[in-house]
Structure 1
């Protein structure tokens, strides 16, 4: 049992100034006791003020030493693979994809929505299915009017589509040509095709004003970025260089885009083309690029080994938060952490230190919180589960943040 954690929560209960706070903190203490006895991560802990006086470091069991930009890390899902969690415009909900058997008996990734305050819960009761439950889905996102978009293969069949890995015998990413992009109400009703046609259409995200959807498509013969105008239906191709351009997001003011891309040459280019003809790509060297929102003035930001991907703009629009394994390649590259880098490149600043897998970061609309996917656990045990976590973002770490976990 983690006695310092329990004592800290009990102390907060005594100091709480009103009955509502006392009730909430008492419930949190009971949850902490049960979690500690079960040796599981702590969730539902009270959220202290950002200025620090009420912050209890020992209660932040899902935060790791060195994570000076994070506080009050909470776990929202509890099993299986849960990722690509993205905020609703009001910051109250998240859409995410999951194969967690507690909420998804079908087995292929489906789209769910959950409250940020409550999470999915240990039994998954807080997660609402918003996709069809058929085929495979990816990359759900909220439009500015609270409707959702996501890619799905369900018209091609109810079952999970056959993966390229099972056909090629290699570790590859599938580029299902049956993926089209759909739009629906926030509860999944009134589903209709938004972007369709021949080939792969997926990885959709939305500009802050809701006017544009940026996505990856093979409609030109390669994996390129395209922009869809929600008002006119016009399409604009944004990239035109051999390689996998994908995972794009808009800057907070909508004037720029960031994405990750491969740029194979020589024999690697031939291998890339051959696999793409089989509707697959083999992940390898990926780096970050930025451009204006119409694709002009494109330039490479990072020049790092390994896979540098899942980028998202910092609230200032002047930096990028992304996932990378460039620092662990000598040990096999299985550990991914989050890093910050300026738009002009340079040495990135490491943000997470869990020693596991941290990726898919996204800042909340007001820039005060961060959601991400991770294999971390509060008891530091190994886990193959990828879960969704949310944390307060600390823009200007204090000395106490720098000393966290070193006592």
Structure 2
């Protein structure tokens, strides 16, 4: 072989090795677990801290979510692009916030915050009482511009007001309120008119989402059945606490009629969201866990009549707060999977495979 030919072959070999090395560097880790056949191309959008309840804007170009990370000691509301870029805080940075959502047109947002009562972080729940959630009476709803400016109270009242989501039709807001003394679901027109109480049974009703056609609402609930359960529920509520250990899922028509329970188990079922076919519901549950693994939650799917239960994710940790795009091609959810530190929760987005 001539010297020039040897040089060309050597150069091509070196180039091939460099190309292979670069290609290997670009290979992304598989963020799915065995059995997760409905999820493909999972991407992590946040990386560090506690990030959850990420919901699409109406044009599906952005996500609004709550986050606690670095120097931020209490959950605040953030917006980011679908690739995780351009993260920015849109709440006041004061108090504690939760449950944010875009309003139609994506020029305004709605969320719950305690900053109107106290600019400091309210005390966290006392887990020596067991696994409990705080329902701070200082939570009120606020509507602000999408850049976070000009936050204004929305339907303020004594007691807990939070968990607001918006109908895909753009006409109604649904939320949970303690304005009658108990935790019930209400709907209201976007402009604040036409407030209507939809649930009346003693107990917690919340986490509500509309179906894509706006005709139904899915929600989680705990209704004490015995005198002892009722006494405990009321005692905890007086201390701004609820126990999420036995939430069941319900579906009702958008006017509050035709209520029916669709899960019947002894576990915690929550964060339900309708598939765009308006017939299936994806949700989070610790079904099948034991006392030692009861905080392991996965995503499940069920028909809106309670049939066809199917497990979607298989992670030994937490997967929750799922939301589909309007075409059903993408799913966003929060998870502990592949976190850098124990206890961190991040936002993930995946392609949905039927």
**Both structures adopt the same fold (TM-score exceeding 0.5):** yes
Aligned with 1:68 (options 37, 42, 62): 37
Alignment of 1:312-331 (within 5 A): 312-329=273-290, 331=292
Aligned 1:183-202 pairs, distance under 5 A: 183-202=143-162
Matched, 1:258 2:218: yes
Alpha-carbon offset, residue 347 of structure 1 = 4.8
Structure 1 runs (4+) greater than 6 angstroms displaced = none
Q: Distance in 2 between matches of 1:349 and 1:328?
A: 15
State the Cα deviation string for residues 80-131 of structure 1 (Å, max 9, x = none): 1100000011111100101011xxx2300000000102x15xxxxx310000
- For 2:151 and 2:192, the matched residues in 1 are separated by 19
What's the CA shift string for 1:31-73, capped at 9, x where partnerless?
55xxxxxxxxx4xxxxxxxxxxxxxxxx5x1011101110000
2:61 equivalent in structure 1: 92
**Partner of residue 74, structure 2:** 108
Report how far residue 190 of structure 1 moved: 2.0
Partner of 1:242: 202
Following superposition, the deviation at residue 383 of structure 1 comes to: 3.6
Report the Cα offset of residue 330 of structure 1. Answer: 5.3
Name the CA shift for 1:210/1:29 in 2 (closer, same or farther; >3 Å): farther
Deviation at 1:29, TM superposition (A): 6.0
Aligned residue in 1 for 2:110: 149
Q: Aligned match of 2:347 in 371, 383, 388?
A: 388
TM-score (norm 1): 0.78
In structure 2, how many angstroms separate the alpha carbons of the residues matched to 1:163 and 1:74?
A: 31
Say yes or no: does 1:221 pair with 2:181: yes
Q: Does 1:80 align with 2:58?
A: no
Say which structure is richer in helix: 1
1:308 correspondence with 2:274: no
Q: Where does structure 2 lack aligned partners over 5 or more consecutive residues?
A: 1-15
1:182 and 2:142 matched: yes
Superposition deviation, residue 304 in structure 1:
1.7
Q: CA deviation at 1:256?
A: 0.3
1:368 and 2:329 matched: yes
Gaps of 5+ in 1: 1-10, 15-25, 33-41, 43-58, 121-125, 396-407
- Matched residues in 1 for 2:220 and 2:39: separation? 24
In structure 2, C-alpha distance between the alignment counterparts of 1:201 and 1:29, rounded to whole Å: 50
Residues 1:172 and 2:132 are matched in the alignment: yes
Q: CA deviation at 1:77?
A: 0.6
Aligned mates of 1:224, 1:31 — CA distance in 2 = 49
Distance 1:384 1:164, change over 3 A: closer
Secondary structure of 1:156's aligned partner = coil
Specify which of 281, 285, 299 is matched with residue 246 of structure 2: 285
- Bigger Rg, which one: 2
- How far has the Cα of 1:263 moved from its partner? 1.5
Q: TM-score, with normalisation over the residues of structure 2? A: 0.89
Would you say the 8 A contact 1:87–1:365 is kept in 2?
A: no
Structure 1 match to 2:96: 136
Q: Aligned partners of 2:326 and 2:24: how far apart in 1?
A: 30
The aligned residue for residue 211 of structure 1 is: 171
Provide the rounded CA distance (Å) in 2 between the counterparts of 1:210 and 1:241: 28
Of 270, 292, 296 in structure 1, the residue corresponding to residue 257 of structure 2 is 296
Inter-partner Cα distance in structure 2 for 1:253 and 1:169? 41
What residue number does 1:18 align with?
Answer: none
How far apart, CA to CA, are the structure 2 residues paired with 1:133 and 1:31? 37
Higher relative strand content: 2
